[in-house]
Amino acid sequence: MTVPDEITTPDVMIDVEVLDRNIARMASATRSRGVKLRPHAKTHKVLEVAAKQLAAGAVGLTVATIGEAEVFAKDGVEDIFIAYPLWVGVRQAERLRRLAETARITVGVDSAESAIYMGTNLGADAGKIAVRVELDSGHHRSGVHPGSAVAVALAAADAGLDVTGVFTFPGHSYKPGMPRLAAGEEDAVLRQAAEALTSAGFTLLELSGGSTPTALLTGKTAATELRPGVYVFGDAQQLELERCSPEDIALTVASTVVSHHKTGPDEPGRFIIDAGSKILGSDRAPWATGYGRLLDYPAARIIALSEHHATVQWPAGAVLPERGQRLRVIPNHVCLTMNLVDEVSLVKSGTFSGTWAVAARGRNS
């Protein structure tokens, strides 16, 4: 597929047919595993994509911030989980209160201190906010060990909050060979925490887990709900982790070759495209082969990235693309790309078909 003429590079381009297929596949996969799907909307931040996910059977949305929740709640989404250990001061409490007027709002908590602080600031409204205790399943970011979950849950209940479950993010699944191992660890901590909390008298509704690399694995899981995000678009990380195929890539950054370097006939060729870190994002895992991939040229590598330049290394001996040629780049981490643009271009069967606003872009707080 070429980049439609209507698109000025660099620009984010979404193949709506591939997107629809990805949404349907994850909906069907989670249904057949008997788990609920609560997709993470921080990946796309687009109202139209959220609507497609909900229409396909998602029970609600996951978001990372109160600001993101506000955008989707305003659009009518009625069940939102802010999967983050929020520190809820007076202002955050007021915003949560307002959100709870139209939506069922759940937030993360990973310490007695933050539960007590949140409960105090919510005051009489504490019971309107559901909380889930965050568990560390091996990613070692936020979250507690399952053995500490009871203490946090008791503090939250004492603070008047409605404890409705636990959650974890197996972020250590983002390494070659790790998805199945991380899924096993996720399973174990969810199971352990559920047992401990049940023994302590809690009635747990949801055990929430899941990342894109682990969500499509088959087999039994202790989770009752999964929260993958990236699956809607795919990206170079998922591709290099073999969690998706080139046909599953729904989002690319349309770019133009702007500059060539002359190298010897036996050396790999190098050229510059106009998509840099200000549209691709600059995440690069230690195991990544570069700063993104070229969808139509699997052997090409992006070896350097500036704000508006990507340096592409071309296979030795192959003819370099002409200046002016338009190439589709797959970003390493699509959540960062979507957070860099206010609008995306849509393509259907290779034809430009409109734009979507990235409604929750930049809602960091």
Nearer to a second copy, 89 or 317 (CB): 89
3-state secondary structure of 236: helix
Q: Tell me the backbone φ, ψ of residue 149, rounded to 5 degrees.
A: -65, -35
In this chain, which stretch among 7-15, 194-202, 212-220, 345-353 interacts with a second copy, using CB under 8 A? 7-15
Longest dimension (CA), the chain: 74
Q: Does 147 bind a second copy (CB under 8 A)?
A: no
Q: Tell me the backbone φ, ψ of residue 213, rounded to 5 degrees.
A: -65, -25
Structure tokens at 168: 């974890």
Q: Does 309 bind a second copy (CB under 8 A)?
A: yes
Other beta carbons less than 10 A from residue 318's beta carbon: 12
Q: Does 278 bind a second copy (CB under 8 A)?
A: yes
- What is the per-residue binding string for a second copy in 125-144, x denoting contact by CB under 8 A? ---------------xxxx-
Residues with Cβ within 8 Å of residue 337, at least 6 apart in sequence: 12, 235, 251, 253, 279, 280, 281, 331
* Residue among 282, 289, 353, 355 that touches a second copy (CB under 8 A): 282
* Residue among 15, 110, 206, 235 that touches a second copy (CB under 8 A): 110
Which DSSP state fits 161? -
Q: Does 62 bind a second copy (CB under 8 A)?
A: no
Which DSSP state fits 45? -
Quote the least distance from Cβ 332 to a second copy, whole Å: 10
Residues with Cβ within 8 Å of residue 55, at least 6 apart in sequence: none
Other beta carbons less than 10 A from residue 29's beta carbon: 18
| Total of residues contacting a second copy (CB under 8 A) | 55
Quote the least distance from Cβ 286 to a second copy, whole Å: 11
* Residue among 20, 184, 308, 346 that touches a second copy (CB under 8 A): 308
Residues found near a second copy in the complex (CB under 8 A)? 8-11, 42, 64-65, 84-87, 89, 91-92, 110-111, 113-114, 117, 140-143, 171, 256-261, 272, 274, 277-279, 281-283, 304, 306-309, 311, 323-324, 335-336, 339-342, 362, 364-365
